[in-house]
A and B are shown apart, each in its own frame.
Chain A
Amino acid sequence: MIRDITLGQYYPGGSAVHRLDARTKIIATLLYIIELFVVNNFYGFLIAAAALFAVIAVSKVPLKFIFRGLTAVFLIIAFTFLLNLFMVDGRVLWHWKFLTITYEGLMRAFFMAVRLVLLIIGSSILTLTTKPIELTDGLEKLLKPFSKIGLPSHEIALMMTIALRFIPTLMEETDKIIKAQQARGADFESGNIIQRGKNLIPILVPLFVSSFRIAQDLALAMEARCYRGGSGRTRMNEIHFRRGDAVAAVLMVLFLAGIIASRFI
């Protein structure tokens, strides 16, 4: 299941979306997520979904790739849906013993599920079309103004780069440890939830130790490659605002207006 998480993965390509400045994409994604919570009716979601699929079409990222990310969080979406479905008071549609479904609950549950799906797809578009290094460079530049008040923007960006780089490595490491413990007779599949939680300790402890070892190796490798903090560094690909970014900004404003207008329909 862990392997299916597409968040943080990059899908190589040269589309207009890929070529946008990372800062444009980060801001657009943030705005999009905020707008999803502004939407309160069917038409709003229609606009939001249409906009999202237009972006996907332009980005040329295969739909299969995008939906794979959803399967990993399916449980969370289902849980949220059920919780909303049964917990909201209002006009009763269906009633059985202690379970009650109301009209308001059904609508709320449906909206929440759609909202979550769009949110996850929206943010995975960002990481699928933006190279990790551009993403962190963009973030570093966006956070730069805050470095005056002591926010270590370069360090935060580098931490993100390394975290994204080592997600697959640590997953492989976890796999290896699980297999090694299973070979010694460890059982991860039976028992109640507390038992299973306890059974994870023989995985977590070695994983912790090995991540320290990896960190030490990496620190040596970085020192050997003359890493000495953010000052004096240059970038292979300096990020720039281009015409495409202006077009994206205009589209984003139109979208924003559409969403706000939809509230009054």
Chain B
Amino acid sequence: MGLCYTQNVNFIEVRDLKIEFTKIDENGAEVPGKVALNGVSLDIEKGSFVAVVGMNGSGKSTLAKCFNGLLIPTAGSVKVDGFDTADDSTIWEVRSRVGMVFQNPDNQLVSSIVEDDVAFGPENLGVDPAEIRRRVDDALKRVGMYEKKDRGAHMLSGGQKQRVAIAGAIAMRPDCIVFDEPTAMLDPKGREGVMSIIKDLNAGGITCILITHFMNEAEQADRVIVLKKGKLLCDRTPAELFSDREMIERAGLEMPPAIDIRDKAGLPESLTTADEIAEYIAAV
């Protein structure tokens, strides 16, 4: 790789972010509507794996859409790799650096055939045909869908569609991928597959931001950001967060199942991950 990036380089910088939706009143005039995010500031380090959690309506999906300029701040700023998302002239610089995977696996595939869908992003970027072919094959191999590249998208399961959607993001060679509740509509097996791909991608150097309401997924991140009613409630490591029952309750969340078992069984609190707890139980 040559130059080694240090872990504390900020890839995304969010400052005093406010998102306020406008609505049209009965006279046809725009009036201020719901404030989805207010005064949120945070940094995402290059190569990190960050989870964003919060109740329904906490603004976590809204935050996700700010990371690649799908939503432009009402006030404050979001900078990606130094580019301001509010700047129209560099919006494609931002979007080619930050890929995005959405919740509904059905509604984000553009082409009927797997490999053609994966090619959609690089085609939009104007990449050379031979290079697109390489990227598509590589991306499909990384998500384990290479054998199904000729298949029709409608013949795949939800989990497989979601993996194709991830391949579509990878093929654009982004520095960062935002996953907006990618597992919410999947069965347990599909969920596990998607999580292991996210972890692989992160290990391969891609910054991953995972919006989720599954605490056992948040637990696997380096850092968890908790939102409540559009405000940043806290920003800690999973171990710190999940040892603070009061904070979890305040955010309206629940403990990851493994931590719950640990506390109910009276196991030592020094065990903070599902793997550690499982090992401890196996050893006893």
Chain A contacts to B: CB under 8 angstroms: 9-10, 12, 131-133, 161-162, 164-165, 168-169, 172, 213-214, 217-218, 220-228, 232-238
Other A-B contacts than A132-B111, A225-B110, 7 sampled, CB-CB below 8 A, are A10-B113, A131-B112, A161-B112, A162-B110, A221-B107, A226-B121, A234-B123
A-B contact list, 5 entries, CB within 8 Å: A162-B110, A165-B110, A218-B110, A225-B124, A233-B123
Which chain A residues border B132 with CB–CB below 8 Å? 234-236
Q: Would B108 and A236 count as touching, CB distance under 8 A?
A: no
Which chain A residues border B119 with CB–CB below 8 Å? 235-236
Which chain A residues border B140 with CB–CB below 8 Å? none
Which chain B residues border A235 with CB–CB below 8 Å? 119, 123, 129, 132
Give the most central of B99, B136, B152: most A CB within 10 Å: B152
Which chain A residues border B115 with CB–CB below 8 Å? 236
Q: Would A226 and B112 count as touching, CB distance under 8 A?
A: no
Q: Say yes or no for B95: interface residue by CB 8 A criterion.
A: yes
Interface set, chain B 129-159, CB cutoff 8 A to A: 129, 132-133, 136, 150-154
Q: Say yes or no for B168: interface residue by CB 8 A criterion.
A: yes
Q: Say yes or no for B125: interface residue by CB 8 A criterion.
A: yes
Which chain A residues border B150 with CB–CB below 8 Å? 12
Q: Would B136 and A236 count as touching, CB distance under 8 A?
A: yes
Selected contact of A165 from candidates B70, B109, B165, CB within 8 Å: B109
Q: Would B92 and A228 count as touching, CB distance under 8 A?
A: yes
Instruction: Kindly provide the distance from the CB of B165 to the nearest chain A CB, expressed in whole angstroms.
Output: 8
Which chain B residues border A221 with CB–CB below 8 Å? 100, 102, 107-108, 110, 165
Q: Would B129 and A237 count as touching, CB distance under 8 A?
A: yes
Docked complex Cα distance between A46 and B78 (Å): 69
Which chain A residues border B65 with CB–CB below 8 Å? 220
> Total number of A-B contacts with CB less than 8 angstroms?
109
Q: Say yes or no for B9: interface residue by CB 8 A criterion.
A: no
Docked complex Cα distance between A12 and B112 (Å): 12
Docked complex Cα distance between A154 and B113 (Å): 19
Q: Say yes or no for B172: interface residue by CB 8 A criterion.
A: yes
A234 with B127, Cβ < 8 A, contacts A133-B116, A224-B68 known: yes
Instruction: Kindly provide the distance from the CB of B185 to the nearest chain A CB, expressed in whole angstroms.
Output: 12
Which chain A residues border B121 with CB–CB below 8 Å? 225-226
Closest to A163 in B: B112
Instruction: Kindly provide the distance from the CB of A221 to the nearest chain B CB, expressed in whole angstroms.
Output: 4
Q: Would A236 and B110 count as touching, CB distance under 8 A?
A: no
Docked complex Cα distance between A10 and B115 (Å): 14
Q: Say yes or no for B126: interface residue by CB 8 A criterion.
A: yes
Which chain A residues border B68 with CB–CB below 8 Å? 224
Closest to A237 in B: B129
Interface SS, B side: helix
Q: Would A233 and B124 count as touching, CB distance under 8 A?
A: yes
Closest to A232 in B: B126
Q: Would A224 and B136 count as touching, CB distance under 8 A?
A: no
Instruction: Kindly provide the distance from the CB of B77 to the nearest chain A CB, expressed in whole angstroms.
Output: 20
Docked complex Cα distance between A169 and B106 (Å): 7
Docked complex Cα distance between A225 and B165 (Å): 10
Q: Would A131 and B172 count as touching, CB distance under 8 A?
A: no
Which chain A residues border B214 with CB–CB below 8 Å? none
Q: Would A236 and B113 count as touching, CB distance under 8 A?
A: no
Which chain A residues border B92 with CB–CB below 8 Å? 226, 228
Q: Say yes or no for B160: interface residue by CB 8 A criterion.
A: no
Q: Say yes or no for B38: interface residue by CB 8 A criterion.
A: no
A223 with B70, Cβ < 8 A, contacts A132-B113, A218-B110 known: yes
Docked complex Cα distance between A20 and B65 (Å): 42
Q: Would A161 and B110 count as touching, CB distance under 8 A?
A: yes
Docked complex Cα distance between A122 and B122 (Å): 34
Instruction: Kindly provide the distance from the CB of B87 to the nearest chain A CB, expressed in whole angstroms.
Output: 15
Q: Would A217 and B112 count as touching, CB distance under 8 A?
A: no
Q: Say yes or no for B11: interface residue by CB 8 A criterion.
A: no
Instruction: Kindly provide the distance from the CB of B106 to the nearest chain A CB, expressed in whole angstroms.
Output: 5
Which chain B residues border A227 with CB–CB below 8 Å? 120, 124
Which chain A residues border B107 with CB–CB below 8 Å? 169, 213-214, 217-218, 221
Q: Say yes or no for B128: interface residue by CB 8 A criterion.
A: yes
Docked complex Cα distance between A60 and B63 (Å): 51
Docked complex Cα distance between A184 and B128 (Å): 54
Instruction: Kindly provide the distance from the CB of B93 to the nearest chain A CB, expressed in whole angstroms.
Output: 10
Instruction: Kindly provide the distance from the CB of A133 to the nearest chain B CB, expressed in whole angstroms.
Output: 4
Q: Would A133 and B111 count as touching, CB distance under 8 A?
A: yes
A217 with B108, Cβ < 8 A, contacts A223-B70, A224-B99, A226-B125 known: yes
Q: Would B123 and A236 count as touching, CB distance under 8 A?
A: yes
Closest to A133 in B: B116
Which chain B residues border A223 with CB–CB below 8 Å? 70, 95
Closest to B165 in A: A221
Q: Say yes or no for B96: interface residue by CB 8 A criterion.
A: yes
Instruction: Kindly provide the distance from the CB of A229 to the nearest chain B CB, expressed in whole angstroms.
Output: 9
Q: Would A132 and B126 count as touching, CB distance under 8 A?
A: no
Instruction: Kindly provide the distance from the CB of B38 to the nearest chain A CB, expressed in whole angstroms.
Output: 23
